[in-house]
Structure 1
């Protein structure tokens, strides 16, 4: 090779254009001589100025890529044009590409097609492939899928693997005048795969996974997808990550899933970036890292991935991996919702309903819930049912409320089951009531447990009153933190219903409910002290303090049960104690004038 350089140099210095071009390639590639791209450009220029088309093309490429010379796309176009005018097919194609992309020249897709055609007619397979693409997409030429397939076929006959893939796809989908024939699709995908196409390898994997055009073979599906992934095809890498994550057709390995998601994500594949964000957020297959989760979700979200946009919105909403920012949460939910993502529509509906990060708007909230509900989002169906039941943001409609609640309940939303059950209770349909609250309770819903207990205590279960079962279910609800169950179970202990009577146990349960903010529990403790019931001695001042706590409690929890509100009862009790001079000065001073 060093000798070749020596002789090329002698010939080149005598003006031989072929020698000048060859010497340029030796310098560019560092073959037989130290690599020197600047000198390569010098020799290409000498040959190009002698109208040697291949050198003109190569000089254009050096200008386009900024190799050995400052990047200049206009100059690249100039040299490509000189070579193309000499009918050099590669230059015709490359000049067409510059026109198509608007690089170094005004974008002109019609001109691009014209140049691709000139090159394609000289059997340049890349140009044939792109001429097919232009016909398929109707870019710079009338859309014609039949002609597209014709050009793909000509390109494939010249060995172009990308064209083979598209012929395979045309057979798979029945496009371009071809009947749908998955068997032929597999033949072409296999040819393309053997020619080195990672896309074809991936497609073959999908065909084997789905049993399309061939017997279903999950082992071969994994084999072909792995080949494509190992060749760097981002889509296949993400798919292989899914396979390892799901563990359905390959042994589950979350760490390997992360490895493949990372390879794909680093190539900019949005779906893999979103998947990687999920893995970091949940600590699945990798150490939990909310900051990295945010980073990957953001990359995918900026590419328009609606799942990532929704997840990013939730991280801003909850302040995970970033400062809490409900306004940004709304912005990301909105992007995803506009793209039709049901979860985003549902979450955005909640933000409008609650007035978080946006001005409260219940009508907008219900509209968003309706969109998500129509797509099958159970949470949205539940909220839409609530809206119709309460007339919140929508015209009150009990029938529609029950329809949407039932849809959500049938999808396993336990809150919807409880709400639906309560609506049946109001209709005195005890069997339906019991069916839904029992189902919710069996699935671990604390409100379901509470209502099952309530049904047994009141005789709504269809089995008559059963205080033993009532106590059992109230206890389950108490164990899961239900303050209302604490109150009712306290009453059961206080009266000895379904359990051995215990004022101490009753008091302890009321106290626990009171600490959870329940006004009725506070009132009951007050009564214990006022009347000196069993476990506690009579103490009017302590009773007064508990009645005062009722006045400070959250009014939303002050739900009357067929009579006066708890607040009203507490005020009456305080007035009675004041009238009987039962309270000392420190308690009296704390009673608001409005209560006296």
Structure 2
């Protein structure tokens, strides 16, 4: 690692972490690949993190996940002389003794001091990495200390408390500098503390996601919107979900749509809600919630012309891909009636059996299927039992007129 970060790494950090709204994540990824191949160890380190999923980088950049390649890049970054790579490899459990021998530093402390120097100069990513070194207790290995380094357990715990607590200031610096992950760790630090060494301070966590939302972090805008929704401040929640969605954060348009679809705390606007579900599906065609609610919209003709075929298609995708029974009532009714799909009582029965809630039409359809023997062996008593549960509704009453009980108490079909 050089005394300063390269221009390529600075630009990549800007687009990948500090301002994801640029939408230049993929360009930054390509820039890092080129710099890494040219020998930039810091680029190799950041590139490795990009390949490790949403716990290490904003998930909606759309980067591939490749743990094997990420590990190779981390090892490469250490060999290329990146102090950042050393600390990230240490944090990731990848700084094995054999890898550590290949680093061009006399000690882990020397590598730490290089990163710390850049952190003190104001680089937010370095501030975050330094904060992590304290938060996750990596300082023990960096400083080559343990409980045997102290004359008593009390002194060891005092040392731990002093070192761990340093993460707080570094995380605040990183958070304000553009690393929203730092606030996530602050939230854990404040709400959970650290064993019996750092006491929880939940009051300090209040407003963290609001602050992140106001600073423009899309994921925090989503988290803050969730807090507002839980407090039933739906209009304000919709505003922040929309802010998040417009930055490309997944799920945002869906959440806006759910609020307007049913008019929760806002004027109901089914047409706008449908447009939100469509925007979510344009981003992710397999988004389960949007497929379900857009399917419901087509089933009833809410915000769109009624179209059973589209409803069936969307609801089937959500059911099969999401392994969810949310839409099985609609699917069962389509199969039972032959709406948007060929009439199929066998499939209707399969969907009805997935319903784990009570509904009169469920009993009505089950009653008809069993009493008439549609796709199953005829079982009039079983069918009548279901129909009687739905007997307060006209359809069930009319169907029950087709059956009678004999003198011996057996249900049979009327001639």
* TM-score range normalised by the length of the shorter chain: 0.5 to 0.7
Q: CA RMSD in A?
A: 5.6
TM-score, scaled relative to structure 2 = 0.57
**1:567-578 matches, cutoff 5 A:** none
Q: Check conservation: 1:255, 1:286, Cα contact below 8 A.
A: yes
Partner residue, 1:292:
272
Aligned to 1:305: 287
Q: Tell me, yes or no, if structure 1 residue 282 matches structure 2 residue 240.
A: no
Number of aligned positions between the proteins: 322
The 1:98–1:135 alpha-carbon spacing in structure 2 relative to 1, beyond 3 Å, is same
Instruction: Determine the structure 1 residue equivalent to 2:226.
Output: 242
* Unpaired runs of at least 5, structure 2: 16-26, 54-64, 100-107, 117-125, 139-160, 406-415
User: Which residue in 1 is equivalent to 2:304?
Assistant: 322
Deviation sequence 1:388-447 (CA, Å, 0-9, x none): 854554556799889xx9xxxxxxxxxx8x94486xxxxxxxxxxxxxxxxxxxxxxxx3
Counterpart residue number, 1:354? 337
Shift of 1:199: 3.1
Tell me: CA distance 1:284–1:392, structure 2 relative to 1, closer, same or farther (3 Å): same
The structure-2 alpha-carbon separation of the partners of 1:386 and 1:276, relative to structure 1 and needing over 3 Å to count, comes to farther
* Contact 1:363–1:393 (8 Å) recurs in 2: yes
Could you tell me how far 1:276 is from its partner in structure 2? 0.3
SS at match of 2:323: coil
Q: TM-score, normalised by structure 1?
A: 0.42
- 1:202-251 CA distance string (max 9 Å, x none): 4655787799976695x65542221232233333322322322232xxxx
Structure 2 distance, partners of 1:344, 1:314, is 8
* Alpha-carbon separation, structure 2, partners of 1:380 and 1:236: 42
Q: 2:128 aligns with which of 155, 161, 169?
A: 161
Contact 2:29 2:47 in 1 (8 A): no
Distance (Å, rounded) in 2 between the aligned partners of 1:349 and 1:299: 27
> In 1, distance between residues paired with 2:50 and 2:333?
49
TM-superposed CA distance for 1:311, in Å, is 0.2
Work out whether 1:129 is the aligned partner of 2:91: no
Contact 1:199 1:233 in 2 (8 A): no
CA distance in 2, matches of 1:62, 1:216: 36
What are the residue-to-residue correspondences of 1:69-148 with 2, within 5 Å? Answer: 81-82=37-38, 84=39, 88-93=40-45, 113-120=71-78, 122-125=81-84, 128-129=87-88
Shift of 1:357: 0.9
Structure 2 counterpart of 1:368, from 351, 357, 368: 351
CA 276–96 in structure 1, closer or farther in 2 if over 3 Å, else same: closer
Q: How much has 1:310 moved relative to structure 2?
A: 0.4
Q: 2:251 aligns with which of 234, 257, 271?
A: 271
**Cα contact 1:193–1:200 (8 A) shared by 2:** yes
Indicate the structure with greater helix content.
1
CA contact (8 A) 2:257 2:273 kept: yes
Gaps of 5+ in 1: 1-52, 66-70, 102-106, 142-149, 172-183, 406-415, 423-446, 449-481, 485-517, 519-555, 564-596
CA shift in 2, pair 1:100/1:276, >3 Å: closer
1:190–1:200 CA contact under 8 A, matched in 2? no
In 2, the alpha carbon distance for the partners of 1:389 and 1:155 equals 76
CA drift of 1:323 comes to: 2.5
The 1:216/1:300 distance shift into structure 2, 3 A limit, reads farther
Supply the distance in 2 between the matched residues of 1:170 and 1:380 (Cα, whole angstroms).
58
Asked whether the equivalents of residues 117 and 128 of structure 1 are also in contact (C-alpha less than 8 Å), the reply is: no
Give, in angstroms, the shift of residue 308 of structure 1: 1.6
Q: CA deviation at 1:314?
A: 1.0
Quote the Cα distance in structure 2 between the aligned partners of 1:75 and 1:386.
64
Deviations 1:446-474 (A, max 9, x none): x39xxxxxxxxxxxxxxxxxxxxxxxxxx
